[in-house]
Amino acid sequence: MKKNLLYSLYALLFLVVSFLSYCFFPLLSYNASKEPARIFIKDRNWIIITDKANEYGYKKSIKIDFKSRFVSDLIKIEDKNYYHHFWIDLFSKLWAIKSNVLYGKVVAGWSTITEQYIKNKYFKDSKRTYLQKSREAFLSVYFSLFQRESPKYEGEGLESKEIILSNYLNNVYLWNNLYWVWSAMKVYFWKADLNDLSEEEITLLISLIHNPGIETLEDKDFRQYLTKTQNKLWYTFDRTIYKLNKKVNIDKFPIVTKKVIEELTHPWIPSLILGKEATSLQNNNSINNIVEDLKVSIDAKLQEYAQETLNKTLASLKWKNVTNWAIFAINPKTKQVLIYQASRDFYSKEIDWQVDVIQSLRQPGSTMKPFLYLMALQNGANPDDLLLDLNNKLNSFQEWKTYISNNYSLNEYWLIRLKKALWNSLNNASVRLASELWLNKVFDFYKEYWFQLPESADYYWYSLVLWNPSIKLSDLVRSYSKLIPNPNWPPPNPLLGKAGEQEQVEQDDLETEQAKFLLYDILSDSDNRDLSFWVNSIMNTSIAQAVKTGTSSDFRDNVIVSYHPDFVIGIWVGNNDNSSMIGVTWITGAWYIWHNTIEKAIELWYIKNRKIELPKWIEQSEYCLDEQCFRKKLVYKKTWKKYYSRILDARFSSKDLYEKLNSDEVDRLKDFQMYLEE
């Protein structure tokens, strides 16, 4: 007897544990990110750029007026004893079971509002069985006793019944992918206050709660329930609403929306466009935490204009096998992202849709050259120093292979000023300069400017300064932001009595600022573009920008980057599949997009006409271009520098050379009737 009793107790314990596991497992495995949510984002100027549902529905929670007619009518229909029973209504359940037995089918369930809340939140797809109803009833009591957290928008001081009622109303489904009555009445009736709802609107919303799966308002079952509800509430209105509005999703920039969600829900992802919001919101790993006042750094007007310009350009280049583009712009002072256009069409599978080109590895082409020339300027070079531009055969760092350099135009310019060599992207001069500076040191210098170079210098060899490394557009733009000169750096002053080591640090930093100023002047001066772009070209803007273009090998990537103390931008055109474009170069690809976007940024006051003051120990002086000094050019240089060459007379002095030439190079110059004077 005792043995049978023990077995019975074990069996009972097993059933209890099984039932508790059956009840609590959905709570423990519940994924809050799959709750219905409203994704609502504004740009930096409070323009709505995203207002849509996530894939699970559209919900916005606000404070509920529990004394409103809607709430009282809802309780009359759904749970008339709500404020009087203990979370479950036993008498009503017994009546429902009796009715179901008499009719031989389910004709009544009589769930309380608490049970409906449990069902709506945790068991949307569960079948309606007596066991399921038992689980909902048990969890209703559990929630009422232990789950007392107030809804987000309700604040303190709510009674337990009001907490459950508020949670219920914040999770109830009202057709058309809408959750909670506020979302529904805002979309359907353009009303934001429960007390403004008419009798017909109240009846309609209550009927939708009970019939969420209808196709139209003219479904037979829905019309019958609507009439039944109207009679129960003693309303006498004549029906006027036969059709409801659909919720229109606003998503102007899908990739921006996707990026915001990633940054909010994954704290380990670096914040690009959230800015200050990221500090307080990135720790909340639920999309439901995207709140009403979330503002991102994007400028919608600037982004839309850039997108329109990009699409026009892409249409004109379609015959050249150009299918995609990307544009990334930041404020270099705050590091806030102003434009984030990462693909032509977020929804197009033809271009590998949803691919974020801004974060994809692409070849930057000649846009890497300014960093090489900055290194030279930091190492004693001046913008008007002479560089050698001849085809070169150089060590490729690979056995039995020699690297041969050629300019894009296949021309040789023999001796050319540094500033002309840089802006016209002369490969010969750049490779020769890299050889002079030592390629390993150039490699290390690139890394100082945030270039991600996973391989060694020997792997890239001289293509390091031309096109070979693959980097992200976002990283390239950030690297360029480090090139902006800061002319306010103070010169070292021995009278201050600082330690020699500190003085050396200040001296090094001052030389860096001098080099940045000289580089900025080179890249913003249209006179330096004459060989490739002409003096009056599309590269000129109403406020000058320091700008550099680049095209990778086999025309796979066309890039343009510009920087200004207020604005840094990078633009890429090409193909996601890395296929080659047809003859698209710096002047036929991204230039039109860049010019128009810069002018729009100027119009919107993102770029101001500010003068960059001369750093200490940089002077502007006249450079005589001919022997009689009839033609002069104002140039920037370090104070000790004096030029002896007369460019227009084809007279060149070895004193003006930055590089040391070997005897073979001197002989090659003589073959071109170019003799260096001592």
| 3 state SS for 393-428 | EEECCCCCCEEECCCCCCCCCEEEEHHHHHHCCCHH
Model confidence at 339: pLDDT above 50: yes
Q: How far apart are CA 491 and CA 266, in angstroms?
A: 44
pLDDT reported for residue 1: 63
The two tokens of residue 554 are: 């086999």
The residue among 201 and 617 whose pLDDT is bigger is 201
Q: How far apart are CA 351 and CA 534, in angstroms?
A: 35
Q: How far apart are CA 49 and CA 106, in angstroms?
A: 47
pLDDT reported for residue 634: 82
Specify the pairing of strand 38-42 against strand 48-53.
Answer: antiparallel
Alpha carbon separation from 654 to 362, 421, 579 (Å, rounded): 40, 18, 45
**60-99 b/e (C-beta count within 10 Å ≥ 16 → b):** bbbebebebebbebbbebbbeebeeeebbbeebbeebeee
Tell me: the pLDDT tens digits for 364-418? 888 889 999 999 999 989 998 988 888 776 655 555 455 666 776 667 778 888 9
Tell me: the pLDDT tens digits for 235-270? 998 889 888 888 888 899 988 888 888 887 776 667
For residue 25, the Cα-to-chain-centroid distance in whole angstroms is 37
pLDDT reported for residue 523: 93
Alpha carbon separation from 336 to 329, 399, 547, 567 (Å, rounded): 9, 46, 20, 10
Q: Which of 137-141, 181-185, 277-281, 296-300 is most confident?
A: 296-300
Name the band, by pLDDT with cuts 50, 70 and 90, for residue 100.
low
What does the DSSP 8-state code read for residue 234?
Answer: T
Q: How far apart are CA 260 and CA 41, in angstroms?
A: 9
pLDDT reported for residue 103: 52
The two tokens of residue 287 are: 């999309």
% the chain with pLDDT above 70: 81
pLDDT reported for residue 495: 45
pLDDT reported for residue 282: 52
Model confidence at 501: pLDDT above 50: no
Q: Is 515 helix (H, G, I), strand (E, B) or coil?
A: helix
Cα angle 200-205-210, degrees, rounded to a multiple of 5 = 125
Q: What are phi and psi of 389, to 5 degrees?
A: -125, 85
DSSP-H helix ranges across 525-653: 591-603
Q: Which of 11, 579, 671 is nearest to 322 (CA)?
A: 579
Which residues, other chains included, contact 125 with Cβ-Cβ below 8 Å and sequence gap of 6+? none
The structure tokens 């343009």 sit at: 560
pLDDT reported for residue 604: 94
- How large is the average pLDDT for residues 547-552? 86
| Secondary structure string (H, E, C) spanning 297-313 | CCCHHHHHHHHHHHHHH
Taking the alpha carbons at both ends of the chain, their separation in whole angstroms is 120
% the chain with pLDDT above 90: 17
Specify the pairing of strand 546-551 against strand 386-389.
Answer: unpaired
Tell me: the pLDDT tens digits for 17-48? 788 787 788 877 777 767 777 788 899 999 99
Model confidence at 147: pLDDT above 80: no
Alpha carbon separation from 610 to 57, 414, 503, 605 (Å, rounded): 49, 37, 30, 12
Write down the domain spans for the chain: 1-30, 32-36+58-232, 328-333+335-603, 618-677
Mean pLDDT, the chain, integer: 80
pLDDT reported for residue 141: 79
Number of Cα atoms under 13 Å in the Cβ half of residue 612 = 24
Name the band, by pLDDT with cuts 50, 70 and 90, for residue 108.
low
Tell me: the pLDDT tens digits for 351-360? 555 788 898 8
pLDDT reported for residue 496: 45
The two tokens of residue 676 are: 């260096």
Longest distance between any two alpha carbons in the chain, whole Å: 127
pLDDT reported for residue 482: 93
| Fold held by 328-333+335-603 | Beta-lactamase (3.40.710)
| Fold held by 32-36+58-232 | Penicillin binding protein transpeptidase fold (1.10.3810)
Name the band, by pLDDT with cuts 50, 70 and 90, for residue 588.
low
Q: Which of 163, 304, 285, 356 is nearest to 600 (CA)?
A: 304
Tell me: the pLDDT tens digits for 422-462? 988 888 888 888 888 888 888 888 888 888 887 777 777 77
Specify the pairing of strand 546-551 against strand 557-564.
Answer: antiparallel
Q: How far apart are CA 398 and CA 281, in angstroms?
A: 51
Q: Which of 549, 570, 605 is nearest to 310 (CA)?
A: 570
Q: How far apart are CA 425 and CA 489, in angstroms?
A: 30
Name the band, by pLDDT with cuts 50, 70 and 90, for residue 552.
confident
